[in-house]
């Protein structure tokens, strides 16, 4: 959980854990916990976890704090971008060892325009300076992707090599600003302007643009079932769209109408998908509805009250002996 004003990132343990045994995983379910770990710095803006490490980027000074799974209470490793900016940091393991991809800006406060790769001591080992107006990051397989004004910048996490996937000629001023990656399908789902989505196949080097019937409020991809994108539009309609061919598989009226105006601090509906369910928050009604991910039929209504602001659905399947 990220509290930008308080300068703090804290961690919650959902209590769900899968213990791998090669051909199967054992599911362990315990009580959730608020972990006694606080990553502190000015204006935390982004966290990402992968391959046993979690990195938090702090906009206020461009610093990056990295902790390791199993050693969360040890002092974090501290890295830094060259200049403070609104940025991202993504940990990964390359053939040469653990690395962190850090966004970089030409001057303090400017929008980032590139990515440096740093080792755990903070030394820069590679850089791409070719991602104007960088915003948003996602990962599928060994590919880490960054949204840029003219393309999506792709980083091969194994080799550390950069490449670019350009936008189609009709893109105009649109760009990918947020990305989600699949785990079963090697694809990335991104927003693309206010009323379209983009599906990227980094191995084929292709990008499909899918138009929406109205402006988008939020979108989600169930990482373990990435053949379907879920998009909520401002008229309150939830859409299930095939990421494989762009067709609409189902749609349902999920919330009332919400306006996009007012900025990111306004509570609007959010989506999260996992375990065959799509959770849709409805701040005006103080509720969250769990929809079937296939038919989009409502399965359960949860009424936590208040004004739900953000949500994450976490689901694990495993064996119990």
Q: Under the rule (CB under 8 A), what is the footprint of another protein?
A: 1-6, 8, 10-12, 14-18, 24, 27, 29, 31-34, 46-49, 52-54, 69, 183, 223-224, 265, 267, 272, 274-275, 277, 279, 281, 283, 288, 290, 300, 302-321
Find the shortest distance in angstroms from Cβ 130 to another protein: 26
CB 158 within 8 A of CB 142: yes
CB atoms within 10 A of CB 222: 24
CB 115 within 8 A of CB 135: no
Choice between 191 and 207, CB closer to another protein: 191
Find the shortest distance in angstroms from Cβ 16 to another protein: 5
Find the shortest distance in angstroms from Cβ 133 to another protein: 21
Choice between 112 and 283, CB closer to another protein: 283
Choice between 145 and 165, CB closer to another protein: 145
Choice between 128 and 136, CB closer to another protein: 136
Choice between 250 and 302, CB closer to another protein: 302
Interacting residues of 158 by C-beta distance below 8 A, sequence separation 6+: 94, 95, 142
Find the shortest distance in angstroms from Cβ 317 to another protein: 4
Choice between 149 and 217, CB closer to another protein: 217
Find the shortest distance in angstroms from Cβ 110 to another protein: 23
Find the shortest distance in angstroms from Cβ 198 to another protein: 21
The owner of tokens 């019937």 is 213
76-97 CB burial, b ≥16 within 10 A, e <16: bbebebbbbbbbbbbbbebeee
- Report phi then psi at 210, rounded to 5: -115, 115
The owner of tokens 């994108």 is 229
Q: Residue 50 corresponds to which tokens in the numbers above?
A: 């992968």
Q: Residue 291 corresponds to which tokens in the numbers above?
A: 């929809």
Choice between 130 and 183, CB closer to another protein: 183
Q: Quote the distance between the C-alpha of residue 131 and its chain's center.
A: 18
Find the shortest distance in angstroms from Cβ 112 to another protein: 18
Instruction: Give the residue from 141, 146, 136 showing the smallest Cα distance to 157.
Output: 141
């Amino acid at each position: 959980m990220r509290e930008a004003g308080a300068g703090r990132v804290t961690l919650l343990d959902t209590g769900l854990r899968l213990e791998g045994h090669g051909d199967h995983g054992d599911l362990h379910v315990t009580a959730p916990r608020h972990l006694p770990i606080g990553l502190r710095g000015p204006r935390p803006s982004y966290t990402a976890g992968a391959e046993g490490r979690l990195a938090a980027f702090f906009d206020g000074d461009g610093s990056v704090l990295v902790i390791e799974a199993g050693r969360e209470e040890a002092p974090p490793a501290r890295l830094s971008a060259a200049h403070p900016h609104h940025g991202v940091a993504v940990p990964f393991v390359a053939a040469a060892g653990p690395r962190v991809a850090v966004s970089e800006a030409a001057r303090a406060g400017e929008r980032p325009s590139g990515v440096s790769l740093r080792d755990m001591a903070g030394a820069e080992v590679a850089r791409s300076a070719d991602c104007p107006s960088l915003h948003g990051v996602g990962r599928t397989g060994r590919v880490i992707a960054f949204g840029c004004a003219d393309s999506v910048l792709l980083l091969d996490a194994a080799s550390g090599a950069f490449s670019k996937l350009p936008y189609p000629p009709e893109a105009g001023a649109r760009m990918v600003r947020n990305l989600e990656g699949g785990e079963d399908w090697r694809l990335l789902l991104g927003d693309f302007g206010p009323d379209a989505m983009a599906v990227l196949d980094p191995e084929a080097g292709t990008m499909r643009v899918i138009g929406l019937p109205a402006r988008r409020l939020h979108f989600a991809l169930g990482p373990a079932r990435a053949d379907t994108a879920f998009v909520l539009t401002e008229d309150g309609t939830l859409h299930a769209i095939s990421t494989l061919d762009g067709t609409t598989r189902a749609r349902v009226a999920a919330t009332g109408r919400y306006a996009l105006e007012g900025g990111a601090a306004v509570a609007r509906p959010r989506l999260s998908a996992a375990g065959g369910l799509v959770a849709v928050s409805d701040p005006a009604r103080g509720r969250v509805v769990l929809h079937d991910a296939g038919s989009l039929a409502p399965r359960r209504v949860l009424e936590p009250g208040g004004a739900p602001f953000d949500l994450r659905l976490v689901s694990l399947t495993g064996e119990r002996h």
